[in-house]
């Protein structure tokens, strides 16, 4: 059983007279509860691939299945609903909503996307706050906490809906080494605790080292597949 | 829905200065409109009240063709016995009619025994007249107001009284020609001096109907006009249609209607001023709409532009386009609501202050009219509703843009 299956996946951008083939016929599979990394030089197509898996950008051709659903041709509304139900996102710049407290940021997907009842929401958010060691910071606003704490909140927000898949684009790029290591261990711990699959796009060797499966992309093609040990 | 408004309110608080400035703009617009509507509306209502309650009544019935010849006060166009009875029957049977006054209008020579001038007169039954135009007695600036007048007495228009140097208790003579060309004169005692008002009949004198019948040697019943007062002025057009329909059934030998019915609006030139006031009010409202629309659109366009990355984030984590649209529309709605509420409160306080200050003004020959601005709650609700609706409308375009944003492009925005 696989969580993500891609066959002959292609993405082409057309800007005026210029046609860019960002992803060129990629095939891969990702199993549930795995820690996967896409690496490669800038412009190799890592982010494009992540966006397609995250149903943010539809493939130009090929086949893509995520969490048992063919997402190759999803419309805007349908893909938004699918993302809300199955996918969590962690961003390089944390992307917390500044007018919401830590608690409310984590609560946001449950409240505004999945419409959970208040009591159940509170219980779930507290669970996640505890899991990311931010229990006593729930009432603070994003501008009152550190970068590492912000990324913890982002991890909690990504996991709060019981997403089967979390996509993280350069999640440690804006963090110091110690904080980055702590965030990586936190994500691994979350994977173990909740059985969530984490897929990264990164240049950070610390993330690569911790990955169980690594896909190397170059010019939109998958060049090799391996694990953290044989890449670092 | 509550969560959307909570988030919208927090986003407005995030840009305090901008929110405050926009709200002040909306508030100023609302205050300007409400004050203009209340002041102009009360001026209009007061003038219309004066015209209808002290002279014209709400509706008038004449013989066909009388009004077009009214300048010469043609006695041969008076309604005769049967016709008067017919109109009386119709008016008595209409519940909306509070009172009516049957008048004979005539022109006469006015002599104080040393000088002579011409005068236009209304011959009335005092009781009927006071019920139909209750403010007429208030126009008596000298003399007794009670009972209006008795047989053998005359209420002299202020200008004639001043010009002819006539005082209360003086005897004057009226000389009139009847419809057969016969001239007759009759002495009258000056009972009171009548203040002039703007509009038709505003400078006419008053005598008793019985005196007019004697002066003009009229046998039987003749009436020049019937002034009608309604229970509710708002019913005027409805009653007008009803009366017109009923009276049109009376036709002459040429199969033309015998009677004509007119509202005060057709009789008084002030109606054009009232329409001008309404037009000005409309333009002021359009200006308010423009102010609200431009300021809300400007603020919301800025809000969307500054939060593109945030829009990308919430879209990525599954917030549907409809909810993103609602978030921004809710911000526009709250801005409109906030500005409007403050505007309404300031306006109501100002209106109360103006009433307490007893501001007076002059209009034409009328001096010291008291300005008492009022505004109907319905008008406040309509204006507030318009402003809030425009605020929502103004935020729709930016909200639409935000809802339709591609999450990837939005997330890449710096």
Average pLDDT over residues B300-329: 91
Give per-residue pLDDT as tens, A14-33: 888 888 888 898 898 998 88
Residue B104 in tokens: 């004979």
Residue A17 in tokens: 């007279």
Give per-residue pLDDT as tens, A68-96: 889 888 888 888 889 988 999 988 888 89
Nearest CA in chain B to A84: B318
CB atoms B314 and A91 under 8 Å: no
Is A1 in the B-facing interface, judged by CB distances under 8 Å? no
Confidence of residue B338 (pLDDT cuts 50, 70, 90): very high
Give per-residue pLDDT as tens, B14-39: 888 989 999 999 999 999 999 999 98
Q: Which of B34, B45, B33, B42 is nearest to B270 (CA)?
A: B45
Give per-residue pLDDT as tens, B127-164: 999 999 998 888 898 898 888 899 999 999 998 999 99
- Give pLDDT, residue A228: 58
A187 has pLDDT over 90:
no
How many angstroms away from the CA of B10 is the closest CA of chain A?
6
Rg (CA), chain B: 31
Are B242 and B319 in the same domain?
no
A227 has pLDDT over 70:
no
Give per-residue pLDDT as tens, B316-326: 988 988 999 99
How many angstroms away from the CA of B323 is the closest CA of chain A?
8
Instruction: Give domain status of residue B263, yes or no.
Output: no
- Give pLDDT, residue B335: 92
Instruction: Give domain status of residue B59, yes or no.
Output: no
DSSP B6-69: HHHHHHHHHTHHHHHHHHHHHHHHHHHHHHHHHHHHHHHHHHHHHHIIIII-SEEEEETTTGGG
Are B291 and B396 in the same domain?
yes
Are B222 and B310 in the same domain?
no
Give per-residue pLDDT as tens, B339-393: 999 999 999 999 999 999 888 877 666 667 778 888 989 989 999 999 999 999 9
CA distances from A175 to A94, A167, B60, B226, B391 (A): 10, 18, 88, 93, 43
Phi and psi, residue A141, nearest 5°: -95, 160
Instruction: Give domain status of residue B215, yes or no.
Output: yes
* Residue A205, SS3 per DSSP: helix
Spatial contact of A50 and A38, defined as CB atoms under 8 Å apart: yes
Give per-residue pLDDT as tens, A96-151: 999 999 999 999 999 988 889 999 999 999 988 888 888 889 999 999 998 888 98
Are B280 and B249 in the same domain?
no
Q: Which of B16, B22, B1 is nearest to B395 (CA)?
A: B22
CB atoms B318 and A76 under 8 Å: no
Residue A39 in tokens: 């690496």
- Give pLDDT, residue A232: 47
Contacts with A51 from chain B: Cβ below 8 Å: 408
Instruction: Give domain status of residue B138, yes or no.
Output: yes
DSSP A68-136: TEE-TT--HHHHHHHHHHHEEEE-TT----TTS-HHHHHHHIIIIIS---HHHHHHHHHHHHHHTT-GG
- Give pLDDT, residue B327: 93
Are B80 and B177 in the same domain?
yes
Q: Which of A67, A80, A88, A117 to mutate to test the interface with B (most CBs of B within 10 A)?
A: A80
The whole-angstrom separation of Cα B96 and Cα B91 is 9
Phi and psi, residue B322, nearest 5°: -60, -40
A230 has pLDDT over 60:
no
Are B183 and B115 in the same domain?
yes
Instruction: Give domain status of residue B262, yes or no.
Output: no
Nearest CA in chain A to B406: A56
Give per-residue pLDDT as tens, B174-187: 999 988 888 999 99
Nearest CA in chain B to A57: B408
The whole-angstrom separation of Cα B208 and Cα B153 is 7
Nearest CA in chain A to B313: A95
Are B32 and B158 in the same domain?
no
Contacts with B309 from chain A: Cβ below 8 Å: 93, 95
CA distances from B70 to B57, B203, B296 (A): 17, 14, 55
Are B316 and B222 in the same domain?
no
Instruction: Give domain status of residue B165, yes or no.
Output: yes
Are B387 and B324 in the same domain?
yes
- Give pLDDT, residue B77: 87
Domain boundary among B192, B222, B257: B257
- Looking at every residue in chain A, the average pLDDT score rounds to 87
B321: nearest CB among A76, A93, A97: A76
Site of tokens 């911790």: A210
Domain of B359? 2-51+272-412
Nearest CA in chain B to A78: B320
- Give pLDDT, residue A126: 92
A:56-75 residues touching chain B, CB 8 A cutoff: 56-57
Q: Which of B310, B317, B331 to mutate to test the interface with A (most CBs of A within 10 A)?
A: B317
CB atoms B315 and A80 under 8 Å: yes
Instruction: Give domain status of residue B212, yes or no.
Output: yes
B117 has pLDDT over 90:
yes
How many angstroms away from the CA of B11 is the closest CA of chain A?
6
ipTM of the shown complex: 0.87
Instruction: Give domain status of residue B15, yes or no.
Output: yes
CB atoms B317 and A109 under 8 Å: yes
Q: Which residues contact A46 (CB under 8 A, 6 or more apart)?
A: A38, A39, A40, A201, A217
- Looking at every residue in chain B, the average pLDDT score rounds to 89
Domain boundary among B190, B225, B257: B257
Inter-helix orientation angle B236-247/B81-92, to 10°: 140
Contacts with B407 from chain A: Cβ below 8 Å: 56
Is A99 in the B-facing interface, judged by CB distances under 8 Å? yes
Nearest CA in chain B to A118: B3
Are B242 and B283 in the same domain?
no
CA distances from A150 to A90, A184, B217, B397 (A): 11, 14, 104, 33
How many angstroms away from the CA of A31 is the closest CA of chain B?
22
The whole-angstrom separation of Cα A194 and Cα A210 is 18
Give per-residue pLDDT as tens, A29-41: 998 889 899 988 8
Contacts with A114 from chain B: Cβ below 8 Å: 318
Spatial contact of B369 and B360, defined as CB atoms under 8 Å apart: yes
CB atoms B321 and A77 under 8 Å: yes
Domain count, chain B: 2
The whole-angstrom separation of Cα B335 and Cα B357 is 33
Nearest CA in chain B to A106: B317
Contacts with B14 from chain A: Cβ below 8 Å: 98-99
**Structural domains in chain A, sorted by start:** 4-231 (3.40.50.300)
Are B100 and B34 in the same domain?
no
- Give pLDDT, residue B348: 95
Interface contacts (A, B; CB < 8 Å): 66
Top pLDDT among B121 and B221 is at: B121
In chain A, % of residues over pLDDT 90: 27
Residue B244 in tokens: 């017109």
- Give pLDDT, residue B57: 93
Contacts with B12 from chain A: Cβ below 8 Å: none
Are B288 and B227 in the same domain?
no
């Amino acid at each position: 059983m696989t969580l993500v299956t891609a066959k002959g996946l292609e993405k082409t951008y057309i800007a005026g007279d210029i046609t860019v083939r960002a992803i060129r016929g990629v095939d891969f599979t990702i199993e549930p509860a795995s820690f996967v990394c896409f690496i490669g030089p800038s412009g190799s197509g890592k982010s494009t691939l992540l966006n397609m898996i995250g149903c943010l950008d539809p493939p130009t051709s090929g086949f893509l299945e995520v969490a048992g659903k063919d997402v190759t041709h999803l419309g805007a509304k349908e893909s938004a609903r699918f993302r809300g139900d199955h996918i969590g996102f962690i961003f390089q710049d944390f992307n917390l909503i500044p007018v919401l407290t830590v608690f409310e940021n984590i609560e946001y997907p449950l409240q505004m996307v999945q419409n959970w009842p208040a009591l159940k929401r509170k219980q779930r958010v507290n669970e996640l706050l505890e899991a990311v060691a931010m229990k006593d910071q729930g009432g603070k606003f994003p501008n009152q906490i550190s970068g590492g704490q912000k990324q913890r909140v982002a991890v909690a927000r990504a996991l709060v809906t019981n997403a089967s898949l979390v996509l993280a684009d350069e999640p440690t790029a804006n963090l110091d080494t110690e904080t980055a290591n702590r965030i990586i261990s936190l994500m691994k711990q979350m994977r173990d605790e909740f059985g969530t699959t984490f897929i990264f796009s990164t240049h950070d060797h610390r993330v690569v080292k911790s990955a169980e499966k690594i896909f190397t992309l170059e010019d939109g093609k998958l060049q090799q597949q391996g694990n953290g040990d044989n890449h670092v | 829905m509550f969560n959307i408004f909570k988030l919208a309110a927090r986003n407005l608080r995030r840009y305090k200065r901008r929110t405050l400035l926009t709200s002040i703009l909306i508030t100023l617009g609302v205050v300007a409109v409400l004050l203009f509507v209340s002041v102009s509306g009360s001026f209009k209502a007061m003038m219309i009240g004066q015209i209808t309650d002290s002279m014209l009544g709400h509706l008038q019935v004449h013989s066909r063709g009388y009004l077009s010849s009214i300048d010469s006060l043609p006695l041969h166009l008076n309604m005769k016995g049967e016709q008067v009875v017919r109109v009386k029957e119709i008016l008595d049977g209409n519940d909306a009619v509070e009172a009516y006054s049957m008048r004979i209008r005539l022109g006469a020579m006015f002599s104080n025994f040393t000088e002579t001038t011409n005068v236009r007169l209304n011959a009335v039954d005092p009781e009927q007249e006071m019920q139909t135009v209750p403010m007429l007695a208030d126009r008596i600036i000298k003399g007794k107001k009670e009972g209006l007048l008795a047989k053998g007495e005359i209420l002299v228009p202020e200008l004639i009284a001043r010009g002819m140097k006539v005082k209360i208790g003086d005897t004057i003579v009226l000389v009139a020609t009847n419809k057969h060309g016969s001239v007759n004169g009759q002495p009258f005692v000056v009972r009171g001096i009548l203040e002039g008002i703007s509009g038709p009949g505003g400078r006419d004198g008053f005598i008793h109907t019985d005196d007019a019948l004697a002066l003009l040697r009229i046998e039987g019943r003749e009436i020049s006009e019937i002034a009608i007062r309604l229970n509710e002025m708002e019913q005027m057009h409805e009653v007008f249609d009803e009366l017109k329909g009923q009276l049109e059934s009376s036709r002459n030998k040429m199969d033309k209607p015998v009677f004509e019915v007119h509202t005060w609006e057709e009789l008084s030139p002030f109606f054009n001023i009232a329409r001008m006031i309404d037009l000005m009010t409309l333009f002021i409202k359009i200006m308010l709409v423009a102010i609200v629309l431009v300021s809300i659109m400007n603020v919301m366009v800025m809000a969307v532009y500054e939060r593109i990355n945030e829009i990308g984030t919430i879209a990525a984590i599954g917030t549907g386009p409809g909810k993103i649209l609602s978030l921004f529309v809710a911000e526009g709605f709250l801005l409109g609501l906030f500005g409007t509420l403050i505007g309404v409160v300031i306006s109501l306080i100002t209106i109360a202050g103006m009433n307490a200050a007893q501001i007076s003004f002059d209009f034409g020959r009328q001096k010291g009219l008291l300005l008492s601005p009022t505004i109907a709650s319905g008008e406040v609700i309509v204006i507030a509703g318009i402003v809030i609706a425009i605020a929502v409308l103004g935020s729709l375009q930016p909200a639409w843009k935000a809802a339709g944003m591609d999450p990837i492009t939005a997330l890449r925005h710096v």
